[in-house]
């Protein structure tokens, strides 16, 4: 555990270094080459934009963060409950899964305007769209995790006379949680994406709106500042799921049954 | 991998098709019985009518979006393959690019759309560039994962038998990576259409995304549904084409898994 944490920290340090190198190269390139700062703002200008418009960015950032967090929680619920239902019946899976999968093939982010028609331009529209975009990985994680429990473990439970509830609580659930959490990680990114696209389409408030507005004014630095904040929101949400994963691993107290992480 | 526990649609998914038809029928009946206004939820019949009436525009705008998406998809797959190969062959490139790739994977890339308009103006170049940007990452990461997934023993065996780096790459790494690459390409197919459409939402003068926004402004919900139906069909078509290519490649080169 500790060694894993250490190597994780080490790789995080390498990643940070590489990202820092990219930022430095970006600053150097923009300064060295005769590029207009309106076209590609250097990192220093982005920082300045962050400091210059704290009120706008804070107000819209909080709106986006609130809608993303709520959308994420709702998406998890909307994924776990039907996912658990689907895992109970093979017939249900045969009927519903092809449609759920078909929904993933189509470019469903393009369906945002429909939500505007149904729910108007307010927060409910963006949150509903975020749920629509983000529930799928959670659903798949839940179904695959619950249905994919090691059959040997299940047979052992039956032989030992475990009740249905005991099997679910102590065998199926621990098997499902790693995949559920992997799905939630994807859902965290997707929920943010859903809210941002919703903000593009509704053009009412939020960082997506700031991005659109600043881009139309040619204020590249402000666009990038808003995107930096968006990344921050995404990383916080992703980090929260990561923490939940660590907490679960500690509670479980053994290597996770499924090896699929990240 | 327990993901294979999910049932994939077999040859002809009769049961889901029947459920789908039933759902359409219920939808039509619900709209008629509850007198739901067309603006809110058009009945399948009125969407079909809209499809029929607006067929020429739908075809033209569909061609614009489809062309941009397919073009972006081809470029993204090529670029993703080249990137992954370079990262596999040269560790330095890998160390420089990999963390940045992962960072971009976490970043809400679609939010960068308006920047492409600032850089390249309204039109095909910015749309293409944006769609490529959105769809290149799944290919690159999938392919790289695949190239790295090669059995270490096989690689050592090949090297011990005097195989060159190129032979290891061509005969061991590439076949192992193929399913991963195709999985990435499938995601990229959907993302290319997403990128093209979202790009058209932001600003465009043609394409299905543009048509949807116009129809939304006129509250012509049946037309929104019709345009989205065409879009979904096109997206599913590209996805299916990747699937066919994958089958063909597997039969031709017979990969494991």
Residue B136 confidence (pLDDT) above 80: yes
pLDDT at B166: 83
Candidates B111, B133, B144, B232, partner chain A, best to mutate (most A CBs within 10 A) = B111
Higher per-residue confidence, B13 vs A203: A203
- The angle, 0 to 180 degrees and rounded to 10, between the axes of the packed helices B174-202 and A173-202 is 30
Residue B13: pLDDT band (50, 70, 90) is: low
pLDDT at A7: 65
In sequence order, what E strands does chain B have? none
Cα–Cα distance, B139 to B76 (Å, whole number): 7
Contacts across the A-B interface (CB distance below 8 Å): 167
B202 close contact with A: CB closer than 8 A = yes
Residue B7 confidence (pLDDT) above 60: no
Residue B249 confidence (pLDDT) above 60: yes
Parse chain A into domains and list their residue ranges. 1-35, 41-252
Residue A245: pLDDT band (50, 70, 90) is: confident
Comparing A28-37, B86-95, B134-143, the range with the smallest average pLDDT is A28-37
**8 Å CB contact of A22 and B100:** yes
Task: Give percent above pLDDT 90 in chain A.
Answer: 19
Tens of pLDDT along B102-131?
777 777 788 888 888 888 888 888 899 999
Residue B98 confidence (pLDDT) above 50: yes
Choose among A94, A99, A258: nearest Cβ to B7.
A94
pLDDT at A4: 60
Residue A2 confidence (pLDDT) above 60: no
**3-state helix, strand and coil shares in percent for chain A, rounded to the nearest 5:** 85, 0, 15
- The angle, 0 to 180 degrees and rounded to 10, between the axes of the packed helices A2-32 and A43-52 is 100
**8 Å CB contact of B1 and A15:** no
Among residues A114, A109, A108, A110, the alpha carbon closest in space to that of B41 is found at A114
Mean pLDDT of chain B: 84
Cα–Cα distance, B129 to B195 (Å, whole number): 9
pLDDT at A260: 39
Shortest CA gap B253–chain A (Å): 26
A117 close contact with B: CB closer than 8 A = yes
pLDDT at B118: 82
| CA A200 to chain CA centroid, nearest Å | 18
Judged by phi (left if over 0) then psi (alpha if -120 to 50, else beta), residue A190 lies in alpha
Chain A residues in contact with B15 by the CB 8 A cut-off are 94-95
The mean per-residue pLDDT over the stretch A190-213 comes to 89
Residue A261: pLDDT band (50, 70, 90) is: very low
Residue A132 confidence (pLDDT) above 90: yes
Considering only residues 7 to 66 of chain B, which have any Cβ-Cβ distance to chain A shorter than 8 Å? 7, 9, 13, 15-16, 19-20, 39-41
The mean per-residue pLDDT over the stretch B32-48 comes to 84
Walk me through the domains of chain B, giving residue ranges and CATH numbers.
46-252 (1.10.3720.10)
Considering only residues 213 to 252 of chain B, which have any Cβ-Cβ distance to chain A shorter than 8 Å? 213, 215-216, 219, 221, 224-225, 228, 231-232, 235-236, 239
The residue behind tokens 């696209």 is A197
A143 close contact with B: CB closer than 8 A = yes
Choose among A98, A148, A211: nearest Cβ to B13.
A98
Considering only residues 190 to 229 of chain A, which have any Cβ-Cβ distance to chain B shorter than 8 Å? 192-193, 196-197, 200-201, 207-208, 211-212, 214-216, 218, 220, 223-224, 226-227
Comparing A249-253, B224-228, B241-245, the range with the smallest average pLDDT is A249-253
**8 Å CB contact of B16 and A94:** yes
pLDDT at A77: 93
Comparing A229-233, B195-199, B248-252, the range with the smallest average pLDDT is B248-252
pLDDT at A256: 54
Task: Give percent above pLDDT 70 in chain B.
Answer: 93
Residue B79 confidence (pLDDT) above 90: yes
Residue A112 confidence (pLDDT) above 50: yes
Comparing A146-150, A185-189, A245-249, the range with the smallest average pLDDT is A146-150
Tens of pLDDT along A46-100?
888 888 888 889 999 999 999 999 999 999 999 999 888 888 887 888 888 878 8
* Burial group, residue B257, by CB count within 10 angstroms (0-12, 13-18, 19+): exposed
- The CATH classification number of A41-252 equals 1.10.3720.10
The mean per-residue pLDDT over the stretch A102-123 comes to 83
Mean pLDDT of chain A: 83
Tens of pLDDT along B170-205?
888 888 888 888 989 998 998 999 899 888 888 778
Chain A residues in contact with B27 by the CB 8 A cut-off are none
Q: A245, A65 in Cβ contact below 8 A?
A: no
**8 Å CB contact of A95 and B7:** no
Shortest CA gap A117–chain B (Å): 7
Residue B236 confidence (pLDDT) above 70: yes
Instruction: For residue B159, give the 3-state DSSP assignment.
Output: helix
pLDDT at B192: 93
Chain A residues in contact with B131 by the CB 8 A cut-off are none
**8 Å CB contact of A211 and B221:** no
């Amino acid at each position: 555990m500790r060694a894993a944490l250490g190597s994780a920290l080490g790789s995080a340090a390498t990643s940070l270094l590489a990202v820092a190198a990219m930022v430095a190269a970006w600053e150097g390139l923009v300064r060295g080459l005769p590029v207009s700062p309106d076209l590609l703002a250097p990192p220093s200008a982005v920082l300045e934009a962050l400091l210059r418009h704290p009120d706008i960015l804070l107000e819209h950032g909080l709106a986006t963060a609130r809608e993303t967090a709520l959308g994420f929680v709702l998406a998890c619920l909307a994924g776990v409950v039907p996912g658990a239902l689907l895992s109970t019946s093979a017939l249900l899976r045969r009927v519903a899964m092809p449609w759920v999968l078909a929904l993933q093939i189509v470019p469903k982010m393009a369906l945002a305007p429909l939500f505007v028609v149904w729910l108007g331009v307010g927060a409910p529209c963006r949150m509903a769209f975020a749920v629509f975009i983000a529930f799928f990985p959670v659903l798949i994680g839940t179904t695959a995790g619950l249905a994919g429990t090691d059959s040997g473990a299940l047979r052992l439970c039956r032989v030992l006379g475990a009740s249905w509830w005991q099997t679910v609580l102590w065998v199926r659930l621990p098997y499902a949680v790693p995949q559920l959490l992997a799905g939630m990680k994807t859902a965290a990114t997707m929920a943010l994406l859903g809210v941002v696209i919703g903000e593009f389409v509704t053009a009412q408030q939020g960082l997506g709106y700031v991005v659109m507005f600043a881009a139309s004014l040619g204020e590249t630095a402000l666009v990038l500042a808003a995107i930096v904040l968006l990344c921050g929101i995404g990383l916080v949400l992703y980090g929260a799921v990561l923490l939940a994963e660590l907490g679960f691993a500690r509670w479980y107290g053994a290597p996770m049954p499924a090896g699929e992480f990240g | 991998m327990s993901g294979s526990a999910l049932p994939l649609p077999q040859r002809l998914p009769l049961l889901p098709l029947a459920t789908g038809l039933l759902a359409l029928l219920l939808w039509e009946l619900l709209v008629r019985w509850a007198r739901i206004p067309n603006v809110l939820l058009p009945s399948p019949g009125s969407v079909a009518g809209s499809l029929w009436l607006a067929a020429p525009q739908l075809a033209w705008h569909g061609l614009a979006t489809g062309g941009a998406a397919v073009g972006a998809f081809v470029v993204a797959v090529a670029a993703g393959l080249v990137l992954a190969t370079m990262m596999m062959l040269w560790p330095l490139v890998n160390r420089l690019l990999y963390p940045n790739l992962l960072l971009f994977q976490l970043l809400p890339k679609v939010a960068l759309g308006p920047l492409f308009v600032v850089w390249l103006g309204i039109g095909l170049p910015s749309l293409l560039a944006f769609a490529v940007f959105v769809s290149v990452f799944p290919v690159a990461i999938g392919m790289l994962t695949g190239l790295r997934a090669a059995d270490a023993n096989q690689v050592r065996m090949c090297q011990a038998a005097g195989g060159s780096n190129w032979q290891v790459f061509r005969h061991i790494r590439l076949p192992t990576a193929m399913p991963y690459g195709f999985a990435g390409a499938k995601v990229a197919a959907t993302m290319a259409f997403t990128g093209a459409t979202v790009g058209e939402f932001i600003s465009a003068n043609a394409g299905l995304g543009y048509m949807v926004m116009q129809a939304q402004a006129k509250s012509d919900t049946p037309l929104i549904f019709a345009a989205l139906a065409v879009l979904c069909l096109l997206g599913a078509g590209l996805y299916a084409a990747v699937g066919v290519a994958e089958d063909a490649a597997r039969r031709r080169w017979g990969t494991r898994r």
